[in-house]
Amino acid sequence: MPVPLPALIASTLLLANLGAPLTAQAQQPVLNLYSARHYSTDEALYANFTKATGIRIQRVDADDAGILARLQTEGASSPADVVLLVDAARLWRAQIDGLFLPVKSAALDAAIPTHLRAKAETDGRTAWFGFSTRARVVVYDKAKVKPEDVDTYEELADPKNKGRLCTRSGSHPYNLSLFGSMVEHIGPEKTEAWLKGMVNNMARTPKGGDTDQVKAVASGECGVAITNTYYLARMMRSNKPEDKALMEKVGVMFPNQSSWGTHVNIAGGAVARHAKNTAAAVKFLEYLASPEAQQYFANGNNEWPVVKGLKFDNPALKAMGGDTFKAEVIPTSVVGMNQVKVQQMLDRVGFK
Ligand code: FE
């Protein structure tokens, strides 16, 4: 049946007047991003990608474990195109569980060092890419603790530091990865004894995040704590007088400089196994390796960029002595595989 002319005109008008913006938005390509990056400053990073490509980002925020669980549950019907995680062992776990779609990108291969990306079983493809790194360092109360008493991870378990140690939960990915790296460096028996020694040295039951530990050191409640570098840098660059005052009280130590180096973790990303928009997903990952995005990781969130030769000038990273330091070099898979073992050790020694 032919549509009456007035009705046709009316609907065309409606489209032209009201429908157009909606249609344009519907046609704008969308990238579904599952992100464990919990940094408010990342907004600018995503906005710049949309500005440059016209691809809108729809984001789901959760922690690493939450994202992995969600991807497992959703299976083939998952809307996720890109996954960003903030821990090397979780990236490894997701790869092993088949949650990533290995891809080939000449740009990413050229930009990211081999040890910071994961070769897939599939010929010439990569399962995930590291885009930034962060060191897990020691902070101490400058008034009470001598730097030479905390310049190795091993000393955190030494009786000389009894009653001083504060940390977030041992089961948090940042700690599981640090402890998993210890298994690689000193073996499982010594690692378990080390964990037990740390439990004996604790000033309080593990609680809070890394920033809470730094604050507890500054307030005198704890003598020594462990934290990721970007939390420290954030406070060092803060304009708030209370943050500045806090940072004046704590010393920062990059442990194990005369042995295997300070433990470094990776934040990275991958294309989701059931991505509907693979091309846009790869484009987004390539954007994260661009000088612009890498600068952002360095200056916006105080992480070390992974792209070699990139000049960046972050006063906080420099001030804490972290512009040139010795970082440990161990395969990510090793840290990942050791985590089950480490969790059992934590349970045995009562590390909460
Ligand atoms: Fe964090």
DSSP string, 250-312: EEEE---TTTT-B-EEEEEEEEBTT-S-HHHHHHHHHHHTSHHHHHHHHHTS--EE-STT---
Query: Quick check: helix, strand or coil at residue 40?
Result: coil
What's the 316 CA to ligand 1 centre distance in angstroms?
17
Token pair for 297: 């990781």
What per-residue confidence (pLDDT) applies to 204?
98
Indicate the helix (H) or strand (E) that contains 203. Answer: none
CB 262 within 8 A of CB 81: no
Distance from residue 87's CA to the centre of ligand 1 (Å): 9
Burial class (CB in 10 A: 0-12, 13-18, 19+), 24: exposed
pLDDT at 54: 95
91 Cα: distance to centroid of ligand 1 (angstroms): 15
Question: 134: CA distance to ligand 1 center in Å?
Answer: 9
150 CA to middle of ligand 1, Å? 23
Token output for 343: 């969790």
- How far does residue 12's CA lie from ligand 1's centre (Å)? 51
Backbone dihedral angles phi then psi of residue 84, each to the nearest 5 degrees: -115, 125
Determine the pLDDT at residue 24. Answer: 52
Q: Dig out the tokens for 231 from the structure.
A: 């939390």
- 4 C-beta neighbours (distance < 10 Å), count: 9
Q: How far is the CA of 264 from the centre of ligand 1 (A)?
A: 13
| Ligand 1 centroid distance, CA of 309 (Å) | 25
The reply to whether 135-263+333-349 shares the fold of 28-133+265-318 is yes
> Is 67 within 8 Å of 85 (Cβ atoms)?
yes
Report how far ligand 1's centroid is from the alpha carbon of 138 (Å): 15
CA–centroid distance, 89 to ligand 1, in Å, is 14
Task: Kindly give the distance from the C-alpha atom of residue 174 to the centroid of ligand 1, in angstroms, as a whole number.
Answer: 8
Q: How far apart are CA 40 and CA 180, in angstroms?
A: 29
Give the DSSP per-residue string, 51-76. HHH--EEEEEE--HHHHHHHHHHHGG
Owner of token pair 């603790």: 145
Rounded to the nearest whole angstrom, what is the distance from the C-alpha of residue 186 to the centroid of ligand 1?
A: 26
Give the number of other CB atoms < 10 A from CB of residue 145: 22
Q: How many angstroms does the Cα of residue 38 sit away from the middle of ligand 1?
A: 7
State the distance from the centre of ligand 1 to the C-alpha of 348, rounded, in angstroms: 26
- Ligand 1 center from residue 175 Cα (angstroms): 11
Topology at the third CATH level for domain 135-263+333-349: D-Maltodextrin-Binding Protein; domain 2 (3.40.190)
With H, G, I as helix, E, B as strand and everything else as coil, classify residue 25: helix
Q: Ligand 1 centroid to 334 CA: how many Å?
A: 21
Closest CA to 39 of 296, 315, 307, 243: 296
CA of 79 to the centre of ligand 1 (A): 25
End-to-end Cα separation, the chain, in angstroms? 73
Report CA(122)–ligand 1 centroid distance (Å). 31
Counting as low any pLDDT under 70, the low residues of the chain are 1-26
User: 56 alpha carbon to ligand 1 midpoint, in Å?
Assistant: 25
Q: What is the mean pLDDT of the chain?
A: 91
Evaluate whether 268 touches 113 at the Cβ level (below 8 Å). no
pLDDT at 5: 40
Q: Which two tokens stand for residue 44?
A: 């600018």
> How many Å separate Cα 312 from the centre of its chain?
19
For the domain made up of 28-133+265-318, the CATH class stated in words is alpha beta
Pick from 154, 152, 150, 166: nearest CA to 199: 166
Ligand 1 mean position to 161 CA, how many Å?
26
Domain ranges of the chain: 28-133+265-318, 135-263+333-349
pTM of the entire predicted model? 0.88
- CB burial of residue 25 (10 Å; 0-12, 13-18, 19+): exposed
How remote is the CA of residue 267 from the centroid of ligand 1, in Å?
A: 10
Separation of CA 257 and ligand 1 centre (Å): 23
Buried b (16+ CB within 10 A) or exposed e, 150-160: bbbbbbbbbee
**CA 234 to ligand 1 center in whole angstroms:** 11
Q: How far is the CA of 94 from the centre of ligand 1 (A)?
A: 18
Point out which residues pair with 118 in neighbouring strands: 128
| Cα–ligand 1 centroid distance for 4 (angstroms) | 61
Q: What integer pLDDT is reported at residue 18 of this predicted model?
A: 39
Q: In the prediction, which pLDDT does 308 show?
A: 83
